[in-house]
Amino acid sequence: MREFLEEKLARFELLERQLVDPQVLATPEKLAAVAREHGSLKRLVEKYRRYKQLTDEISDAREMAADGDAEVRELAEAELPALVASRERAYDELLGLTLGGADAARTRCVVEIRAGTGGDEAALFARDLYEMYKRHAEEKGWKVEVLDHSPTELGGFKEIFLALEGEGVYRELQYESGGHRVQRVPQTETQGRIHTSAATVAVMPEPEDVEIELKPDDYRLDKFSASGPGGQHVNKTESAVRLTHYETGIVVQCQDEKSQHKNLAKALRVLKSRLYDAKREAEAKKRAEERKTLVGSGDRSQRIRTYNFPDNRVTDHRIGLTLYKLDQILGGHMQVVTDALIDYDRKQLRDDLGDAE
């Protein structure tokens, strides 16, 4: 962890120098990217600098307690417990800020929600998840943007892509990646039978442009007319775009905007996030092997949570958390779940790394 934090500190100091570099200042796009990354690292670096300061103060106090005269020794010994307690709190805060590894400080992410098994009911559940994240984001003061979506005739979503931006957005939402299951009686069910449907969620940190180099030669661009549910044309011009990345085979399309230029820009954001996410997979698997928990692994095949409507119950299977407040959580009040997951992951990480020493 210390090596990771030293790398972040060195990166932050480099960004500080770049913010006053004439070459960077002369390039608005580069300056914006540097400023954004600098801002995302600031809180972590400030906490780490405070932790290092407390460590130095503890070392000095211990030296004085061992070698000073009686009065100095007494003052140092009286000061030590408060310093150690402060460093312990700083260490715990650092653990919380580093959950998610190198991407913990990201302030932007892309959330992909896809309907799974269950037909129309699964698509409606995908919409419920979208509404839950949207309301939660509003409570947190995060910015939400719909990049693309495929609606169904009943008002659900086959898939929907969101871009979220704000303090702590990836650190919190990373735990949502995986399989979500719903148990309820569909409105179209005349016998009152409970159906089980599913949706998958993927939360991907959105990289800066300078982190993922993507040239037009790297992908195929197809243009087509946007369409709505059931194939009904909503746009007779070829404003929709589809990108196919040659090397990985990843396909992304976007048709939400009337402007082809805007659709292309959004599609490129999703493609870059997917490419960056693919690069992270090897690291995530390695981290999962080293860790005792998969709570933050982001494995999409892992069933992570069940939403049971008859019992108003939400169960997170990774940490054994059961809450009888499904209506509140789907209403966007999901902080209680997020806090429980972060706390569990922090404790696991602390066990793996040892104490503050």
Domain borders along the chain are 2-98, 102-346
- Top-confidence range, 7-11, 335-339, 346-350: 335-339
CATH entry 3.10.20.30 includes domain 102-346: no
Q: What percent of the chain has pLDDT over 90?
A: 45
pLDDT-based confidence at residue 173 (cuts at 50, 70, 90) = very high
Mention the CATH class of domain 2-98. Answer: mainly alpha
For residue 159, CA distances in Å to 20, 32, 126, 314 come to 43, 31, 7, 22
Beta strands 303-308 and 178-184, pairing class: parallel
pLDDT-based confidence at residue 210 (cuts at 50, 70, 90) = low
**288 vs 267: which has the higher pLDDT:** 267
pTM over 0.95: no
**b/e map 99-132, b = 16+ CB within 10 Å:** bbeebbbbbbbbbbbbbbebebbbbbbbbbbbeb
Angle (CA) 259-261-263 rounded to 5° is 70
pLDDT-based confidence at residue 353 (cuts at 50, 70, 90) = low
Same fold? 2-98, 102-346: no
Is 356 within 8 Å of 87 (Cβ atoms)?
A: yes
**298 vs 27: which has the higher pLDDT:** 27
Q: Range with the lowest mean pLDDT among 120-124, 264-268, 286-290?
A: 286-290
pLDDT at 231: 47
Distance CA 38, CA 56 (A): 26
**Is pLDDT of 229 > 70?**
no
**Is pLDDT of 122 > 90?**
yes
pLDDT at 14: 92
120 closest CA partner among 73, 184, 58: 184
pLDDT at 93: 81
Q: What is the pLDDT of residues 39-97, one digit of tens each?
A: 878 888 898 899 999 999 998 888 888 876 788 888 888 888 999 999 888 888 887 77
345 closest CA partner among 99, 114, 89: 99
Residue where the block lists tokens 């195929």: 220
Is 186 within 8 Å of 103 (Cβ atoms)?
A: no
Distance CA 254, CA 161 (A): 9
pLDDT-based confidence at residue 233 (cuts at 50, 70, 90) = very low
